[in-house]
A and B are shown apart, each in its own frame.
Chain A
């Protein structure tokens, strides 16, 4: 089994309904994502998952010097940022891609699939 990180990419700018067009759309996406999460648990692929606050809430810390330097905002200023992620444990890339497609449909965003080089 291999661990894969599934990241959901969405717009950096969010309004009151997140990256969704309306309250209904947001609620539908949440419900579908919840159902997808339940399926990951039931089928044994689930490791961990979470949604993130908007990128503007991020702080970058550089602790390589003598005293850490804090910078407000995300590391990269881009139009698209990671909005949430799953960590799954799947037998191969075909399974991971199939799950990513289901997750993408559920949460209504593009999903990047990337294998872990190991898990601590």
Chain B
């Protein structure tokens, strides 16, 4: 049915970020915006199932929510000076799909990812206000009690209001640095969905999907920023392998995946973005990671992978980011190019004993070197360091195959 409850909720979710962002601009207050949006949803649930979805549902929601907010501010005007002040922000800019309304979402994204907010609060606020996820959904995704997540979100919103975190795209001089914070949040949201930390569903497609959707919005808004294109390319080329990555509840490593199960449409789009980045010639972290994933997704079979190019790209990445995590990923590629013995020496030097991927890499290299007893120990350490059910299942199988 055209205007059924499910349709209303889907449209509301799709429009939520846009709606909230324009309300925040008009009323200068996140709480007022969220309440008005909630009231507009109630109104839509009453009306649309009878009258059908209006031709411009986002516009309908914005007008309705705006009216509800104004009603509420008028009611409370006398007893609440803050809302009276907020009322002064009122403007009648119509809802449009492009132009200033799009900028509203970008502004709000920079507010949510402001460096003055705690990193976990940035992720939660971004998913709540721009992704339209409920606090309960975010709490579930990050395995914290709902009350903890609610407090985190409330505290961050209070800080935004009290300390006056601006709703503004940073000026050119600060943009690159602040954009880095926004991209990091989107990447973290994606990663949490792609390899979930906890012992629930091993993959959470709603998080990977939301990260991609928000990165697409960012890409529309900042088409000239190669790192945005790079991140989108990286996410698409990674997500393209999602279906092939878990089989019978077990994680399937890249080399053993059924490449026919990869999403060719996403790969083509990702490769296009990587080519665009190469042409822009302003390399950055996400662009290089995207390029590495382009090499992987370019190979018809695992043995066709151009590992020398992968290692060369990791060398380039190391120059930008000489972190042990990058060194670990580089070593995994070196194992394919120069063999596990060389790679193991590199891995053993890294201060990552608390990181499950370090144990996974070591276990695999020791196994290939025939050092079975040590490999078993490493598999045990890796299993103990991860809660992801699919990864544990895979590692347990590999350990069990050792004789």
User: Which A residues are within 8 Å of any B CB, using their own CB?
Assistant: 2, 4, 91-94, 96-97, 113-115, 117
Chain B residue with minimal CB distance to A116? B162
User: Which A residues are in CB contact (< 8 Å) with B166?
Assistant: 91-94
Complex CA distance for A59 and B92, rounded to whole angstroms? 56
Contact B170 A93 (CB under 8 A): no
User: Which A residues are in CB contact (< 8 Å) with B163?
Assistant: 2, 4, 93, 96, 113-115
Least CB distance from A50 to B in Å reads: 22
User: Which B residues are in CB contact (< 8 Å) with A113?
Assistant: 163
Chain A residue with minimal CB distance to B162? A115
Chain B residue with minimal CB distance to A94? B166
Query: Is B356 in contact with chain A by the CB < 8 A criterion?
Result: no
Contact A92 B165 (CB under 8 A): yes
- In addition to A92-B166, A97-B116, A113-B163, 14 A-B residue pairs with Cβ atoms within 8 Å of each other are A2-B163, A4-B163, A91-B164, A91-B166, A92-B165, A92-B168, A93-B165, A94-B165, A94-B170, A114-B163, A115-B162, A115-B163, A115-B164, A117-B162
Chain B residue with minimal CB distance to A90? B164
Complex CA distance for A113 and B388, rounded to whole angstroms? 40
Complex CA distance for A97 and B164, rounded to whole angstroms? 11
Chain A residue with minimal CB distance to B166? A92
A-B contact pairs, 10 of them (CB 8 A): A2-B164, A4-B163, A92-B165, A92-B168, A93-B164, A93-B165, A94-B168, A113-B163, A114-B163, A115-B163
User: Which B residues are within 8 Å of any A CB, using their own CB?
Assistant: 114, 116, 162-166, 168, 170, 174
Chain B residue with minimal CB distance to A95? B166
Chain B residue with minimal CB distance to A98? B174
Complex CA distance for A67 and B197, rounded to whole angstroms? 58
Chain B residue with minimal CB distance to A115? B163
Complex CA distance for A114 and B116, rounded to whole angstroms? 11
User: Which A residues are in CB contact (< 8 Å) with B164?
Assistant: 2, 91-93, 115
User: Which B residues are in CB contact (< 8 Å) with A96?
Assistant: 163
Chain A residue with minimal CB distance to B110? A94
User: Which A residues are in CB contact (< 8 Å) with B114?
Assistant: 93
Least CB distance from B208 to A in Å reads: 31
Complex CA distance for A4 and B162, rounded to whole angstroms? 10
User: Which A residues are in CB contact (< 8 Å) with B165?
Assistant: 92-94
Complex CA distance for A94 and B114, rounded to whole angstroms? 9
Complex CA distance for A117 and B395, rounded to whole angstroms? 54
Least CB distance from A119 to B in Å reads: 14
Complex CA distance for A4 and B164, rounded to whole angstroms? 10
User: Which B residues are in CB contact (< 8 Å) with A94?
Assistant: 165-166, 168, 170, 174
User: Which B residues are in CB contact (< 8 Å) with A114?
Assistant: 163
Complex CA distance for A92 and B165, rounded to whole angstroms? 6
Least CB distance from B356 to A in Å reads: 35
Complex CA distance for A96 and B114, rounded to whole angstroms? 14
User: Which B residues are in CB contact (< 8 Å) with A115?
Assistant: 162-164
